[in-house]
Chain A
Amino acid sequence: MGWLQRIAYLFWGVLLAARANYQNMKNNVPRLKLSYKEMLESNNVITFSGLTNSSSYHTFLLDEERSRLYVGAKDHIFSFSLVNIKDFQKIAWPVSHTRRDECKWAGKDILKECANFIKVLKAYNQTHLYACGTGAFHPICTYIEIGRHPEDNIFKLEDSHFENGRGKSPYDPKLLTASLLIDGELYSGTAADFMGRDFAIFRTLGHHHPIRTEQHDSRWLNDPRFISVHLIPESDNPEDDKVYFFFRENAIDGEHSGKATHARIGQICKNDFGGHRSLVNKWTTFLKARLICSVPGPNGIDTHFDELQDVFLMNSKDPKNPIVYGVFTTSSNIFKGSAVCMYSMTDVRRVFLGPYAHRDGPNYQWVPYQGRVPYPRPGTCPSKTFGGFDSTKDLPDDVITFARSHPAMYNPVFPINNRPIMIKTDVKYQFTQIVVDRVDAEDGQYDVMFIGTDVGTVLKVVSIPKETWHDLEEVLLEEMTVFREPTTITAMKISTKQQQLYIGSSTGIAQLPLHRCDIYGKACAECCLARDPYCAWDGSSCSRYFPTAKRRTRRQDIRNGDPLTHCSDLQHHDNYHGHGFEEKIIYGVENSSTFLECSPKSQRALIYWQFQRQNEERKEEIRVDDRIIKTEQGLLLRSLQRKDSGIYLCHAVEHGFMQTLLKVTLEVIDTDHLEELLHKDDDGDSAKTKDISNGMTPNQKVWYRDFMQLINHPNLNTMDEFCEQVWKRDRKQRRQRPGNSQVNSNKWKHLQENKKGRNRRTHEFERAPRSV
């Protein structure tokens, strides 16, 4: 049964991937893909590559008021300027030698484990932060003074006062911890023992006795991995305030055949002080429900994304009802997929008011509880709003007993529209983090998601309603590589004030702007096609859109991305004599191959090639055959013939809009002519020579080789030999005539310079193809 189902999943996964490939051939790919180098060169990323004696920049605290980003890392706490993270202060908070030795003794790794990994970093009050670290498997907490005002410029560890960090920070740096500090009380979901098995939701600090979830009861928590904690008011009465925990955990025995992970949302009341006689110093209002994020499949078998990775709360005008964004991945090792699901708090509350999961004993099925639910209903906060009892200590015995044995709800929480707003199944990476920005655009409000991945990239995605608001189309605007090496993104914060994004990983921190409108291009159409809600065509450039500014010339169409109706300067869009595209001449040798590089900036555009024979007016579409191969990077022409001479036009077609990118004039030189050229020593036409040996200077990587291998060229050796011959001859000639060396070298120098200049000019088109 189990494996059958698994096979079904697998099959469906393959099917899904295949279908996705087919349907979204161009829709699911990022419109713009920016490498780390491109990001760096365009000044779109600022990186802090870490200290040599630190790592694990995972714990972020954003302080918009002071304009600082506090980061907890290995043995250090940092305070970065939000404006530029290159400007930072740091506090070293290592562990003592004795602690480290003890940790080493216990069989832990001295570098990866026996250090103080900061896991909790929270604003405590106006002047202090509260920080906890693993303390080399001996959790420890303290306060950090930050001063009352930003200009105080204080960043100091209160090293006279250390507190036990048990129940606040995990012992093991690998374990995830989620915490929230409100009103001087720290809520944390963590493991409270060395071995990392005693998981609980704690409330510590403050004046009250610490309180936690019931111990050793797998119905409450079953090996959980905590993701985040949020306070969400239930009503206007603060007595009803609830703290919600997001986590993933093992499915409860009997809930699922075999092992499985489930994503959960758990709730507790902020004013829960535990029971009086039972559940003393334990939560009495703890409830949890499963979060479903799945794609419906044939025969009702859904593909589930159960591994909750991150949660972002998008606040709306009503603080009671933020939108919950959750990032999930699959539990499968083979079928790697990620999804983003959106939940409404109304749905969450409905589930918590629904039936409790119940079973009569270990060998029974979980069923919705049908019996009488004691009053007040377990999970309700003691308040004047819902009932006449003042404290959880006054809860009747039967309520406590019921609460202890019914911590889970029977119904799961389904996402808005019952499906993910985004899935990614055809890639080699998975989502890890998410932040969302609500952006006002000309035609409405859009939620722009920034999704971090496990390969150090950030995806910028916007959900656009198609026909109705229930049918969303996700548009992947950009895929940006923000770290030099592929590394998992483990933290992400957005500063709407700075319009910046801050990204953490184990190796460092990156900062990037939320938008780079100018990168989309220099035409209205390109700006329009980008469908980036942050950007609009202001008449002269693609720039940040501000809804307040009343400018008629502003052009933006997020919903449809249709430049034809929005950009008036498009009547000559098929006229390649206009500006906006490159023109060049390329020489090819008869029987050899040549490559006409043309790749659109937008990954979504389709390339359309046209050919215009010399001295002919007629343009014809290039038909692909054995000799002419169309690739992502351009057009490959094998064994050139003289009739191939002519004009080649490269057009990008996107969203029904065609744009000319390149015009290449190809001249084919016949072999006899070539011999002549090669032997003619003092041929003044250096440009021609240069073109033939284009890209083949010995110090340059023979880039075409990779490329040829990729397309499985049968005559790779032949081609190689040919090139070698060309170079050899060239060198031989120079060696053969020592007397002319001066002249020759001058000539060579000139040639080189010429080439440099040209390289600079046509940099975009003459570089080696992107690595595939």
Chain B
Amino acid sequence: MASWVWTLILLSSSWPAGHGSRPWKLEFFRSKTELNHLVVDEVSGTVYLGAVNALYQLTADLQLVHAVETGPALDNKKCTPPIEPSQCQEAVDMDNVNKLLLLDRPAGRLVECGSLFKGICALRELGNISHRIFYEDSSGEKSFVASNDERVSTVGLVTSVGKDDGDGGPGERVLFVGKGNGPHDNGIIISTRLLDRKDGKEAFEAYTDHTAFKAGYLSANTQQFVAVFEDGDYVFFIFNQQDKQPAKNRTIVARMCKQDSFYYSYFEMDLECQGASGDVYSICHAAFVAPGPTPEASQVLFAVFSKDSKGSGGTPRSALCLFPLEKIHQKMEENRNKCYMGAQGSSSETFYKPFHGDIQCVSHGMASQSFRCGSEHLPYPLGSRDGLVGTATLQRDGMNLTAVTVTTENGHTVVLLGTSGGRIHKVFLRADGTSMEYGSILVEMNKRIERDLVFSTNGTNLYVMTQDKVLRFPVQECLSYTTCEQCKESRDPYCGWCVLEGRCTRKINCLRAEEKNHWLWSWGDSCVTVTSAQPQNMSRRAQGERLMRGLPTHQTFILSLSTDHVEVLIILTFLRTPVFLTSHMYPFYDCKEAMSLKENVP
């Protein structure tokens, strides 16, 4: 086998950058094979990468710690592992595409699944991924988790289910999986898997006999999963589905109760992102859940969409839509109610049985409340075409948005969007729903930004992944703005002018920022200026101290007189530190001199 060489190139200043010279060192890691997934351990800061035929464990600054080879291996998509050439004559060396890479921090392990061997998975030690804790390739189809098709996405979520022991115990650790199906896949779309041995079942077997949805063979729909996340007791999936009858691409949000070991609670509906003119962006590319820009800061689903190629007329068109989770829940409950109350007539076209076809909505009274997680006697799984429509917060023509992540800085929502052109767009989202792009980083020209766009542990850095590189960028460059005016012009919601320190900083980096007028936010207060002086002018011969408005505290200052006998630029700095505060043109007069000048006579 070929030995692997990893190169770490330290960047010179020739690296293309949005803003002139960078005051920081850009770190990056390059993989020989295509990168698929990136996760960051929030506690240790360790970065894990899933790539074709390899897994990497890196330090927070992207230094390689461990590398594991996962492929290629003798396989065929049609064959059941373990591959025996006598039984699987078509087996050839195949690449192992990483399909799932998830952290199980409480258990100190990494869950990883590859495309090889029907998408079986392994558990590895978080501290050292070379140490495989669990791997079993001979348990047959029950252990097939991920899609074995390179082009079909798989999403996963590790969480706890089962009875809470009251002491806040973690319960059982399980893996929720959403995946599409390739031509030689197992047909399973959504499933819940064990992560520990239980009742004679091994890890990765179905949690119960009922926790799997399989596509009816003739289900003419294909799913591309985008995201999975949890909210309280619920697990959500976001996926695109290509309906054949009628032909339509739909983005679907699905929800089920975490504790539901029968999948009675599964409900799905459309999620639509509309442009200002009512045009529909129908394909979701990435989604992220974070507190929204409203004062309540309730959880919001941020999702980036594009129009399908037919609707966009060739030029790529993208949009960002926000869906408050509360609204999603509300709409879902409304739908469940409608069906359980025995929706008739046109509603029968609204409701359907996901992955299979028709459903019968029969009246069961107010069952949606009594049976929050569904029941065997209520229609399930349930789908509705009456979904939630969102209006685009941001629309961009000429680019494909491929990744989204959101953070909150001092209660201000910052959205970072990756594009297929290799750029990161920085957007400030105001509470009123308007958005403002304040900057962008060109990561690498025409290198698509992968979906895994992740903040570092303390939120100071952003990990960006392209096809073969992972880069770490600081989330802000406030310090590069040397004056209060530059700082403000940046419009970077991270930045503000730290008056006492005389520099552009994050609020967190400004010492007395909590005190009024000490940290002037780029979107808020104006820089310190002299708005008026008292007296408006002064005799050259006059002496004494004068207060100037807009100063944070009462400070002594020195008047330095220019040689000019009419106007003087007064620069205000702090006494103890030579920190520039502001400047002002101040007129001085000298009557004695004036009297002697003929030209001054009116």
Binding site for B on A (CB under 8 A): 106-108, 137, 193-195, 215-219, 252-254, 275-280, 361-362, 396-398, 400-401
Contact = CB atoms under 8 A, between A and B. Distances in A.
B364 interface: yes
A217 B355 CA distance: 11
Contacts of B80: 277-278, 397, 400-401
Instruction: Give the interface centre of A216, A253, A278, A401 by most chain B CB atoms within 10 Å.
Output: A216
A219 B217 contact: yes
Contacts of A279: 141
Instruction: Give the interface centre of A275, A280, A397 by most chain B CB atoms within 10 Å.
Output: A397
A217 B220 contact: no
Interface in B348-396: 355-356, 362-365, 375-377, 379-380
B78 A401 contact: yes
B75 to A, nearest CB: 13
Contacts of B79: 397
Interface in B123-182: 138-142
Given A107-B365, A194-B376, A195-B377, A253 B218 contact: yes
> Which 8 pairs between the two chains have the least Cβ-Cβ distance?
A277-B140, A106-B377, A194-B376, A216-B214, A253-B218, A107-B364, A397-B87, A397-B80
A106 B375 contact: yes
A276 B217 CA distance: 22
Given A107-B364, A194-B376, A401-B80, A216 B215 contact: yes
Given A107-B364, A193-B376, A194-B376, A277 B78 contact: no
Given A107-B364, A362-B218, A280 B142 contact: yes
A216 B188 CA distance: 10
B39 to A, nearest CB: 30
Contacts of A275: 140
A398 B88 CA distance: 8
Contacts of B81: 277
A581 B140 CA distance: 82
Task: Please tell me the size bucket of the interface on B.
Answer: 20 to 34
Contacts of A108: 377
B491 to A, nearest CB: 52
Nearest to A401: B78
A277 B87 CA distance: 13
B216 interface: yes
A79 B206 CA distance: 44
Contacts of A217: 187, 214, 216-217
Nearest to A216: B214
A106 B376 CA distance: 9
Contacts of B376: 193-195
Given A216-B216, A277-B81, A277-B140, 8 more contacts: A106-B375, A107-B363, A195-B380, A216-B214, A217-B214, A218-B217, A277-B138, A401-B78
Interface of B: 78-81, 87-88, 138-142, 183, 187, 213-218, 220, 355-356, 362-365, 375-377, 379-380
B87 A276 contact: no
Contacts of B213: 216
Contacts of B220: 362
Contacts of A253: 218
Given A280-B140, A397-B87, A194 B218 contact: no
A107 B342 CA distance: 11
Contacts of B364: 106-107
Contacts of B356: 216
A169 B79 CA distance: 36
B380 A218 contact: no
Contacts of A277: 80-81, 138-141
Contacts of A361: 183
A510 B78 CA distance: 57
Nearest to A196: B360
A426 B355 CA distance: 43
Nearest to A137: B377
A362 B222 CA distance: 12
Nearest to A102: B377
Contact of A218 (B218, B365, B377): B218
A107 B141 contact: no
Contacts of A398: 87-88
B255 to A, nearest CB: 20
Nearest to B370: A105
Contacts of B362: 107
A398 B89 CA distance: 10
A194 B141 contact: no
B510 to A, nearest CB: 59
A195 B364 CA distance: 13
Instruction: Give the interface centre of A254, A276, A398 by most chain B CB atoms within 10 Å.
Output: A398
B342 to A, nearest CB: 9
Given A107-B377, A216-B356, A218-B218, A396 B140 contact: no
Given A216-B187, A397-B87, A276 B380 contact: no
B309 to A, nearest CB: 21
Contact of A278 (B88, B140, B216, B365): B140
A401 B356 CA distance: 22
Nearest to A360: B183
A400 B162 CA distance: 35
Contacts of B217: 216-219, 362
A401 B215 CA distance: 17
